[in-house]
Amino acid sequence: MSNYQMIAAAALNKPLAMEIGYARVFFSALGLRLGAESLVDAQGQEISRDGMKAVADSYVHPVTGEYRHYEIVDGVAVLPIHGALAHKTGNVRPKSGLQGYDGITTMLNQALSDPDVKGIYLDNHTPGGTVYGAFDTADAIRRANAIKPVWAIANDMNCSAGQLLAAAAGRRLVTQTGTVGSIGVVVAHADYEKHLEAAGIKITLLHSGSHKVEGNPYQALPKDVAARWQAEIDETRLQFASKVAEYTGLSLQAVLDTEAATYSGQSAVQIGLADELVHSADGVAMLAEHCRNLSKTLTIGNTSMSVANPAAAAATQSAAPAATAQTAAPAAEATTEQTLAVTTTETAASAELVVTLCADAGMSDQIANLVKAKLTEAGVKARLSALGGVRDALAAAGLGHAFTEVSAKIDDPAGMLQVALTHATAHSEDKEVAGQRAVNAAQPKQPDPKSAYSDPSRL
């Protein structure tokens, strides 16, 4: 008996607790393997064999031929982030109440390279998890938002490490019963010393190195160890709060003042940890509409741009000084926020200081440009920070080769975006061509009824 016959025996003629959208995909894929000619849903709608294949193909990545680990709804990849979060679980999707950061980044990267995905939606229901892996995953989400719009929803919870991930998204939604926050750190220590003593058990730990057995559960936690751990916890909380402040635009003090409290619904919006209160059924459609209204969304460093027409954006920017706010606003087809400029009467940074700052940032190729710009020390640092964001975003998108050309237009955000989009489009086309060539050259790897649905774990 094949695996598919065993799956059919377990799935057919029995009640299943399965989301209706995925049920359609599940039975389409299973039906193809069992030779079914059509599929009839609960509403009596018949799906032909070609229709079944089309439905099942929706879970196959068009470039790599691998299985998609997310559902696409109206151009939006819905990434489930459910359960406790942990480092390197080896599973892409949530399993037994546990989600791996490695699984989240795998889904994220797959969605970024998927030409059918216009936006990424983080569907969060998590109380948080380990610090290990959390910060790098949050940074990956932030970088992804520079390539495609990434939104997150507390549906109905993103707390602690989950809040860190949600904060990194470009827009944060919350349901009326959704809970966010808990920006703090906790460490638990178990002390079985008296219990073991009462049981007549004595455990001796032989060790080399005075710190080797710190925190063991067989003795009370020494005060000096507790103090050192507390300092480490406070440092981690500060790092956590700093990231949330950086991502959300809140002040660091405002984040720290939450004292790891949680907030629900409208309170989360009022405190600044969520941008909008929504119904859980509406969030994906809102992001889909947002993507339709934008040809691209680019967020680099402290610069945020939403552009429906890059050429119009460039024209609008150049014409802006000659237009009043009242006449320019209705005609503008693009919105630009530029916060990198430094307006000050301070003395420009010396050439020697510029050289040092550029070298420390690993961008010595920017020395000439920054010396010529005659920025203050603060201005140079801000510019390097922005350029670092550009470099990271381009690298994450596989466009590192475009950094020199893109960075040359750092004073012209619309022009910078246009150059980035040109390279991104060419890169996407190259990947699609390469992917198609790879498929044509290796037919056994091409998604078809014999291979695309041969992984039972996807059913």
DSSP-derived 3-state class of residue 305: strand
Overall size of the chain counted in residues: 459
* Selected catalytic residue, list 28, 113, 160, 306: 160
Write down the H helix ranges in 146-222: 161-167, 193-198
Q: Which amino acid is at 316?
A: T
d(CA 243, CA 249): 10
d(CA 259, CA 237): 10
Burial 92-130 (b: 16+ CB within 10 A, else e): bbbeeeebbbbbbbbbbebbbbbeebbbbbbbbbbbbbe
Tokens at 271, concatenated: 């405190």
Asked if 77 and 111 touch (Cβ cutoff 8 Å), the reply is: yes
DSSP-derived 3-state class of residue 408: coil
DSSP-derived 3-state class of residue 382: helix
Residues 6+ apart with CB under 8 A from 424: 147, 296, 397, 399
Asked if 72 and 287 touch (Cβ cutoff 8 Å), the reply is: no
Is the peptide bond preceding residue 156 cis, with omega within 30 degrees of 0? yes
454 is annotated as an active-site residue: no
Q: What is the DSSP string of 222-271?
A: PHHHHHHHHHHHHHHHHHHHHHHHHHH---HHHHHTTTT-EEETHHHHHH
Q: Which residues are catalytic?
A: 160
